[in-house]
Amino acid sequence: MNYALRRILHAALLLFGASLLCFAFSALAPGDYFDEMKLNPQISKATVVALRSQYGLDKPLALRYTSWAKSVLRGDWGYSLSYNAPVSRLLKERARNTLLLNFSALILAWMIAIPLGIWVALKPASWIDRTQMLGTSLLLALPELVLALGLLYLAMRSHWLPVGGMASADHEQLTPGAKFRDTIFHLIGPAMILAVAALPILIRHIRGSMLEVLDAPFVKSARGHGISGWQLMSRYILPAAANPWISLFGLSLGGLLSGSLLVEIVTGWPGLGPLLLDATLSRDLYVVVGVVMASTVFMVSGSVLADLMLLAVDPRVRAE
């Protein structure tokens, strides 16, 4: 239990530090939301000054951070000047869409990576292993933007998948079952992009951990006692190799979240990515901070979840 409490406390301190840095960098950026109003001759300078004072943009940085922290405790996460609404209201729906995309991509990537990584580990130095190394190297060299644009081109040419967005134009007129199928149909493309981008690292880590366990003395001893086949794999090899996979789970979730913002923008998925882009262009400070902090919360939560899963399955962690 002490280990779990330490990890949760560490996550809380990490979020606090990230909020300080995020707010400071966003607030220290040149200009603010009302700068464009100064170019309008119909709006007086006194009006701009009054608006900046009304929304607290003329206060020192420390006071602005304190005010924002209080709004986080209230559940508002600041106030959006562009949307004239609390930031939490904007984040709620967008974060749900981002989580749907990322967890779908995470499940798809692991469903492919685990059997493929085990398969190539059982055939080291074979043509299958060499082909896997070449394929993962190529995928590692390709940016996610190239993968996204390539898939969009294929979707546009083949008409197998929607080009972008989360729903069709007649989505509201569909039945509940048809709405669900329509959303899944639009989800396939962005989820495939993120899953393919995550596959090289997952396959290589799974392969490496499997090779390490396959050469371990206890596996050789089990083979010497006549244990082989599925019994050897399920009782000895997979449990020992699974510990690094659990740690990798949290890292893979963080990697997907960092890449999904760009993929959402390219594919038109209504998640946190387009919201962050719009807020950055309009200099809507609290929306920018809210999106970045929401992504940080997801990443840290994934890491803490992986640590707690490791605590549950690894007695060595509990002993420490």
Span 82-95, mean pLDDT? 88
Instruction: Specify the pLDDT at position 28.
Output: 75
Q: What's the pLDDT tens digit per position in 102-153?
A: 889 989 999 999 999 889 888 888 888 888 888 888 888 887 778 778 887 8
Question: DSSP 3-state assignment of 242?
Answer: helix
Instruction: Specify the pLDDT at position 236.
Output: 77
Instruction: Specify the pLDDT at position 111.
Output: 92
Of 255, 279, 248, 222, the C-alpha closest to 81 is 279
Query: Could you please report the per-residue DSSP string of 96-151?
Result: HHHHHHHHHHHHHHHHHHHHHHHHHHTSTTSHHHHHHHHHHHHHHHS-HHHHHHHH
pTM: 0.83
Instruction: Specify the pLDDT at position 284.
Output: 86
Domain ranges of the chain: 15-87, 93-283+296-319
At the topology level of CATH, where does 93-283+296-319 sit?
Answer: MetI-like fold (1.10.3720)
Q: What's the pLDDT tens digit per position in 170-224?
A: 777 778 888 888 888 888 888 888 888 888 888 988 988 888 888 888 888 878 7
Instruction: Specify the pLDDT at position 314.
Output: 65
Span 227-246, mean pLDDT? 79
Give the type of residue at 71. Answer: S
